[in-house]
Structure 1
């Protein structure tokens, strides 16, 4: 699998680090005590097939954060955008 970095062009997957799902947002209550919002954010994830937006980091290149739209069933890269 190759990602087309907007700054560096097509690169091998070994240059990138997957970080997290781009559709999720962290709860804003601080996280000092376990709340249902934090439990849902950390543990309750859907494992749906099809396209998904993900944050990736170009660690061995330009150090850019990218939003990659990827079909998680086939690993086909649909788009790579800057956040």
Structure 2
């Protein structure tokens, strides 16, 4: 866990303990941290509910990013 919101490294992969998933820390806004998944889904979480992702969680995130990129490449534009 982090001592204060400013301790959360922006652009690092963190683990949201409420949702149980890793995400990228995009920005710090007061005591909240803006998080993002490879799908583009963004949400805010209080810094006290986050921790740095483990090696396993980072691999999981990389795999999800890769799958999402592959799936997005096959979507036909309207």
| TM-score of the aligned structures, taking structure 1 as reference length | 0.30
Q: Bigger radius of gyration, 1 or 2?
A: 1
Instruction: Flag the structure with higher helix content.
Output: 2
